[in-house]
């Protein structure tokens, strides 16, 4: 439920009905506590207005309007049960007061008493003279409440993309590598067009209001026009638990990936991902995620690559009025061969990434990002270089997505990668451009 929407609903119909001038005319304005309480409420200092009005009520009886201010102050500082009792007493005195009904419905929502909230919203909606903007807000709120009472949520996305890869095998720009004094040729770069097909199924089952089971299936196919050896197919089966509080989300997910390369079984991945998201304030969110992957290669010539991968990522995302959503991520980890060690398997890595999402229009989003990535392999490569491989990679992404309607969207992406390595066979640069169409239901 969008809390901002609820507040907007209240301010458009409720707060406008509270006339501070009428309060001041009917209360003992000479009382110091009362004066300060009203001033605090006007300045949205709800903690102060609540405390002062509580002191004032020890010797004075509140009018209905002042009771409303006390109830609203209690609500704003999270004392929902107290606000509920105050609104109920007001409604008992005046059963036709729609402003109190809406505030009471909003308070019921905060206490997760959704049936009571829904009944009050529907009651107010029957009023013939209800302002149109308030009517629309209530209808939207009721729709959200209906969804909140659902147990199952299913979303399906179909996608198709077509693009161009300038360096399919990530081959070096150099022509030769030397084995001692003997020159060995490096395979030339190959470019090709590539198509991709996507099917994603997401299912969420709500065990409780704050606890869900999240299941997913992803099918992905990548096919090149000419470089068939790089054709790839992937299936993902995943499940997990998510626990929600007012400001945070704690999740534990397990995924099983099955990968085919060139129509042959290539790799199985077993992935465990605990994560934690925390909403620091309305514009700032912190995320941390630990990923553990057990890699199980299925082809005999690749079995030496079996390994266990660990990754820890910390992200800070903040929303700005002028520059959209900005996310900074710091990631580090390691990949370790299961048995023994190998110069081409064991490595440590670190990454720093910045991403931006900027709304060009209400239906068009521009995305861009840059990542600085570094890895250091743990074992010497003795045959050609006699040292440990080190890679410094720069990745730049640019994209745009256009929403056509609630189901259909179009996208285009550009990615450039430049990898600088102390072993020239691994030095390369490339770019990939793609256009995509997505249909969700």
Which of 9, 20, 346, 238 lies closest to 144 in space, CA to CA?
A: 9
Residues 127 and 232 occupy one common structural domain: no
Q: Which two tokens stand for residue 286?
A: 């912190």
What CATH number did the domain enclosing 413 receive? 2.40.160.60
What CATH number did the domain enclosing 77 receive? 1.25.40.10
Last-in-domain residue among 98, 121, 148: 148
What pLDDT score was predicted for residue 24? Answer: 45
Residue 20: phi and psi, rounded to 5, are -65, -30
Residues 290 and 354 occupy one common structural domain: yes
What pLDDT score was predicted for residue 118? Answer: 86
How far is it, in rounded angstroms, from Cα 372 to Cα 349?
11
Check: CB of residue 391 under 8 Å from CB of residue 420: yes
**DSSP reduced 3-state for 226:** coil
Residues 142 and 160 occupy one common structural domain: no
Q: Which long-range contacts (CB under 8 A, 24 or more apart) does 399-406 make?
A: 399/366, 399/367, 399/368, 400/360, 400/364, 400/365, 400/366, 400/367, 401/364, 401/365, 401/367, 402/363, 402/364, 403/363, 403/364, 404/363
Q: Give the number of other Cβ atoms within 10 Å of residue 422's Cβ.
A: 14
How far is residue 67 CA from its own chain's centroid?
Answer: 40
Residues 298 and 384 occupy one common structural domain: yes
Q: Which domain holds residue 66?
A: 3-148
Residues 126 and 236 occupy one common structural domain: no
What pLDDT score was predicted for residue 26? Answer: 45
What pLDDT score was predicted for residue 29? Answer: 42
Residues 143 and 161 occupy one common structural domain: no
419 strand-pairing partners: 393, 428
Which of 237, 239, 234 lies closest to 219 in space, CA to CA?
A: 234
Residues 6+ apart with CB under 8 A from 19: 65
* pTM of structure: 0.70
Blockwise average pLDDT, block size 10, the chain, 441 residues = 44 42 45 77 88 82 84 91 91 87 89 86 84 83 75 93 96 79 82 97 92 96 94 97 94 97 90 96 94 94 92 96 94 94 92 96 95 95 88 97 94 97 93 97 94
336 strand-pairing partners: 308
Last-in-domain residue among 98, 128, 148: 148
Q: Give the number of other Cβ atoms within 10 Å of residue 186's Cβ.
A: 16
What pLDDT score was predicted for residue 33? Answer: 67
First to last CA, the chain: 21
Residues 274 and 420 occupy one common structural domain: yes
Last-in-domain residue among 116, 133, 148: 148
Helix (H) or strand (E) segment spanning residue 73: helix 64-76
Residues 180 and 131 occupy one common structural domain: no
Residues 71 and 205 occupy one common structural domain: no
Q: Give, as one character, the DSSP assignment of residue 360.
A: S
How far is it, in rounded angstroms, from Cα 382 to Cα 392?
21
Residues 137 and 229 occupy one common structural domain: no
Which of 288, 147, 273 lies closest to 216 in space, CA to CA?
A: 273
Helices (H), 97-246: 98-110, 114-125, 132-148
How far is it, in rounded angstroms, from Cα 242 to Cα 211?
6
């Amino acid at each position: 439920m969008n809390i901002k929407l609820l507040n907007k609903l209240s301010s458009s119909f409720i707060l406008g009905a509270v006339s501070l001038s009428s309060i001041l005319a009917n209360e003992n304005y000479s009382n110091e506590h009362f004066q300060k309480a009203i001033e605090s409420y006007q300045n949205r200092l709800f903690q102060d207005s609540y405390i002062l009005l509580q002191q004032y009520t020890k010797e004075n009886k509140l009018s209905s309007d002042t009771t409303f201010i006390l109830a609203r102050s209690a609500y704003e500082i999270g004392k929902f049960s107290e606000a509920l009792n105050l609104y109920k007493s007001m409604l008992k005195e005046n059963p036709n007061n729609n402003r109190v009904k809406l505030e009471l419905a909003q308070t019921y929502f905060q206490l997760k008493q959704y049936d009571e909230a829904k009944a009050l919203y529907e009651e107010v909606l029957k009023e013939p003279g209800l302002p149109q903007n308030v009517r629309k807000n209530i209808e939207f709120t009721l729709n959200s409440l209906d969804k909140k009472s659902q147990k199952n949520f299913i979303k399906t996305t179909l996608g198709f993309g077509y693009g161009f890869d300038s360096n399919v095998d990530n081959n070096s720009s150099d022509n030769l590598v030397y084995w001692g004094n003997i020159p060995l040729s490096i395979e030339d770069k190959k470019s090709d067009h590539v198509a991709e097909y996507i099917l994603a199924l997401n299912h969420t089952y709500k065990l409780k209001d704050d606890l869900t089971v999240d299941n997913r299936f992803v099918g992905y196919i990548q096919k090149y026009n000419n470089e068939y050896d790089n054709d790839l197919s992937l299936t993902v089966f995943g499940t997990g638990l998510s626990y929600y509080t007012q400001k945070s989300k704690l999740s534990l997910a397990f995924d099983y990936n099955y990968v085919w390369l060139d129509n042959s079984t290539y790799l199985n991945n077993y992935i465990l991902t605990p994560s934690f998201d925390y909403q620091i304030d309305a514009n700032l969110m912190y995320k941390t995620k630990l990923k553990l992957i057990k890699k199980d290669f299925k082809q005999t010539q690749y079995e030496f690559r079996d390994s266990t991968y660990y990754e820890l990522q910390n992200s800070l995302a903040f929303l700005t009025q002028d520059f959209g959503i900005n996310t900074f991520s710091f990631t580090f980890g390691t990949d370790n061969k299961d048995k023994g060690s190998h110069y081409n398997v064991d490595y440590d890595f670190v990454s720093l990434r910045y991403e931006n999402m900027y709304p060009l229009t209400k239906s068009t989003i521009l995305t861009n990002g840059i990542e600085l990535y570094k890895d250091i392999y743990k074992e010497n490569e003795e045959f050609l270089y006699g040292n440990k491989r080190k890679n410094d990679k720069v990745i730049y992404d640019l994209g745009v997505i256009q929403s056509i309607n609630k189901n259909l969207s179009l996208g285009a992406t550009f990615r450039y990668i430049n990898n600088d390595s102390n072993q020239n066979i691994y030095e390369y640069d490339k770019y990939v451009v793609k256009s995509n169409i997505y249909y969700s239901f």
